[in-house]
């Protein structure tokens, strides 16, 4: 009986160790819950924001890279009104679109922050990854603020830095 119990525990541990966690928070269900069927018909200003998001950085040489966990934050700095993010696309170092997080309008409530997290094991973006976000707001509102925080630790060493989004044409 005791050996049967030990085997059962060992099997459960083995099964739980083989779970594949997503490398990026691209769960479409979360974005679908935020989807807007129709964006308000009043006049909205459109814009796009570019933000550098590094999946890896060089640490000692061109041959020595380390992965970074990235948190991309989309802030609505308006106290009373929603803003709309129409599309979020990630590009790799070579400028190739590697991932579309959503391509339908999602809302961001007043003073709310949406986040996309990219696992430090996800190196698909490379050393020069970036995002482009398309958005719409009422002309009287503040534009969304977008930042990325990249971090990694190894032994007793930690590396972290922040990049800020820039509005592009």
Q: State the pLDDT confidence band at 24, using cuts at 50, 70 and 90.
A: low
Q: State the pLDDT confidence band at 56, using cuts at 50, 70 and 90.
A: confident
Average pLDDT over residues 55-77: 89
DSSP 82-120: -EEEEEEEEE-TTS-EEEEEE-S-EEE-TT-EEEEEE-T
pLDDT at 46 over 90: yes
Tens-digit pLDDT profile for residues 118-150: 998 888 898 899 999 999 999 999 999 999 999
| pLDDT the model gives residue 79 | 97
Mean pLDDT of the chain: 84
pLDDT at 14 over 60: no
| pTM (2 d.p.) | 0.80
| pLDDT the model gives residue 43 | 80
C-alpha 60: how far from its chain's center?
Answer: 27
pLDDT at 25 over 90: no
Q: How many whole angstroms separate alpha carbon 132 and alpha carbon 161? A: 19
pLDDT at 19 over 50: no
Tens-digit pLDDT profile for residues 82-98: 999 999 999 999 999 99
DSSP the chain: -HHHHHHHHHHHHHHHHT----SB---HHHHHHTB-SS--SS-EEEEEEEEE--SEEEEEETTEEEE-EEEEEEE---SS--EEEEEEEEE-TTS-EEEEEE-S-EEE-TT-EEEEEE-TT--TTGGG-EEEEEEEEETTSPPPEEEEEEEEEETTEEEEEEEE-EEE-
Q: State the pLDDT confidence band at 38, using cuts at 50, 70 and 90.
A: confident
* Backbone CA torsion sign across 96, 100, 101, 102: positive
């Amino acid at each position: 009986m005791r050996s049967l119990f030990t085997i059962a525990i060992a099997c459960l541990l083995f099964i739980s160790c083989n779970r594949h966690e997503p490398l990026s928070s691209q769960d479409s269900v979360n974005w679908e819950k935020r989807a807007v069927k129709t964006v308000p018909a009043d006049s909205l200003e459109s814009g796009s924001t570019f933000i550098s998001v590094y999946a890896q950085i060089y640490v000692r040489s061109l041959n020595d890279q380390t992965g970074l966990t990235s948190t991309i934050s989309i802030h609505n700095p308006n106290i009373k009104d929603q803003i709309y993010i129409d599309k979020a696309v990630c590009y790799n170092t070579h400028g190739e679109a590697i991932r579309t997080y959503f391509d339908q309008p999602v809302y961001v409530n007043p003073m709310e922050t949406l986040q996309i997290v990219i696992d430090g094991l996800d190196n698909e973006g490379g050393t020069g990854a970036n995002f482009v976000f398309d958005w719409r707001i009422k002309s009287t509102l503040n534009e969304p603020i977008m930042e990325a925080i990249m971090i990694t630790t190894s032994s007793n060493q930690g590396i972290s830095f922040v990049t800020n989004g820039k509005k592009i044409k």
